[in-house]
Structures are given as C-alpha cells and as structure tokens.
Amino acid sequence: MGSENQVDIRVYHINPLAKIDPKRFQDQVTYSKDNPDVSITKLAIQAPGRGMRPMDDFKKGMEAAITSGLMPPEWTPEKLDKLWKGMTSTPHGERPGESDIANDIDIIQYQDEETAWQALKNKALMQTQGFDVPIPGGVMIPGMPKNMTMGGLLQSGMLKNLIPKEHLDKFEKMQSAIKEVGKQMPKIKQDLEKRGVKYGEGKYLGCKTVYLESPNLTPPPEAKSASSSGANVSGMGMGGKNVDAFGKREGHIAHLDPLPKMAEPYSATNTMYLGLLFKNFVIDGPLLWGIEHLPSGNTPCYSLTQTKEVVSTDKVEGKIFRGITIVPMPSTFAKEGYLYKEEVEEIYKNIISKLK
C-alpha cells in the first residue's frame, strides 16, 4: 500500500516445515515385503532448534491444550478463532499460517537528502530523547522559531490552522500523549543509560544508517566437544554401537552424521538498524530492525528431503535380523528454505537497486 511519497511493503516468509506431511514428524517403521526379518525405519524430520516454526503450529498447540483441558475455562474454541483471525487477517497485517515471520518495509521519499537524513536520525534520537529532536529541514510554518524542536512544534498551536477540523480531536490527544512522554523521558533516559543503550551512525548495505546499540546479555557460546555434535536416530537417548568397514552398525541404533562445526561470529553488543538513507529516500520498517538477529544461510541443519540408508544387523538365537534406517543428510538453512539473514539483505539490495 502507499501514497504519493510513501510505499509500505508487507513481507512474509513461508517456513519449509509447513509443507511437510505431519506423519514425517514421527519415526515410521515398516517391514520389507520380501523379507519380514528386515525392518525399515524412516527417521523423523530433524527440525533445527533455533529455527522459527510456522504460525499454524501455535494454533494447533492451542487447540490441543483447549481440548485436553489444560487452558483456563475462558479459553474456548471461539476465543481462539477470534485471536487467530486477529493475528492473521488484520487489514494491512495479514499473514498466512504457513509463515514464520511477517514484517513491513517502509520507503519514504523526502524533498531532499538533508531532510531525509534528519528524519532518519530523529527515528533513533526519539528513542533516547523523546520528541526533543530537530525538525527536518524544509518544514516551513509561519512564525516558527529556527531552533524549535519537533515536540515543541507538536505541542504549539502553530499546526492547528493546518489540520482539518475533523482531525483536531486526534491532534489534541496526540499533544496530551507527547506531554506525558516528556514527563517520563528523564526516567526513560536513565533506564537506557543503565542498560547501556547508545545511539550510533554508520553504513550498512552501502547506505548511511542510524542504529541503537546495547550490550549483548548472552554469554559467548562454549566450545562443544565432537561427541556432543551428533544426534541419536532413535530419539530415545541411546547410543549406537561400533561401525564396521562397510558402514554397518551393530544393533538397531544408528547416529545422524554430525553437523559441521560452524564458528558463529559473536559480538559483545546488539545492533538494531532503524533505517537506511539512499539519496532522498529513507528505507526502514520492522523487517530491518531484527535483521542482525537472523542466522546465516550456511547455518548447519538436517535436510528435509536428502537422505541416506544406514544398515544394521542383529543376531538373535542364531537368526540374523537386518535394519535399514533412512537418515537425513546434513544441509544448511539456505538449502532447506529456512529464514536466513542474507536473503533478507538481498531484499533491501533489490529495493536500493530499484530506487537507483
């Protein structure tokens, strides 16, 4: 949606797990038609621990909790249905149940680059200073002092003659809200200082940007031993036995191939980009704000489609039993279609390219 000088783009990402047959989330055991002594186990889908889940999973979980009586009495199917419609069908906030995120990209065109840059800086400054920020250049109102702040302008009577009468009530309510923010701002500033939140300017994707930086409260990841990087096929916490030269395992328990180790970059600070400046355009919106927290496309995970067979043998009272376990192969977030940082960055690169 949009207007003469602004376009809002709604973006959502379809989680690949939404396309999987529900039966695939459990181990499936069958027996060979030709030989009943041969069992075939298809291992359940191995969803990544850090991967987002489809919205539908939330609804299914709530339905199960309501049906089983785990939720309070006021949680009825009708209440859940109303909540679900609000989460997925709100006008301009629509999102399908198969999605794991849904966010907006806003593109605003200003009359010149200087005005656009000040407007972008105000987005960050208002987080730490409230409405006590400079008015972007180009805003000309008769009688307005040169050094007036945005808050001063909004609380003054200068705008009343420019606002349609039918919107005056909303404007007066906004003035009251601004006054209340002004009262709370000293405490907000103090809290932000305690948390170490700082305003910054820099470059991102080749554009000037403003950001908020705060200490990373998550400690650096500890190095994992090689033995902890594997996963157990049975899902029962049982260890497999030795593998022979032909890749067979004794017993019925086979291990997944360990995922390759990945040196994940760690930063002592968290950065939230509030917008990008390209010429006289400001590109911002919630999708950009969370981009630094997304995993990389080469984050290891297990494939949803690529598998291999692990053969095991077991001897019981002189009789040989064979087991074939169909095991998912190692893969990456990018190959499997999970949400990852580089594909979101590519969206912004395409927007910048279009604006050129």
Q: What is the pLDDT of residue 217?
A: 83
In the chain, where the domains are located? 1-53+102-110+222-263+280-356, 55-97
Q: What is the pLDDT of residue 181?
A: 64
The pLDDT confidence band at residue 139, using thresholds 50, 70 and 90, is low
Lowest mean pLDDT segment, chosen from 21-25, 28-32, 53-57, 171-175: 171-175
Instruction: Let me know: does 333 contact 299? Beta carbons within 8 Å.
Output: yes
Q: What is the pLDDT of residue 123?
A: 80
pTM: 0.74
User: How crowded is the C-beta side of 329, counted as CA atoms within 13 Å?
Assistant: 8
**pLDDT tens, position by position, 307-349:** 999 888 887 777 788 888 899 999 999 999 999 999 999 999 9
Average pLDDT over the chain reads 80
The pLDDT confidence band at residue 207, using thresholds 50, 70 and 90, is very high
**pLDDT tens, position by position, 50-92:** 668 999 999 999 999 999 999 999 999 999 999 999 999 988 8
Place of tokens 């690949």: 16
Residue 239: pLDDT over 60: no
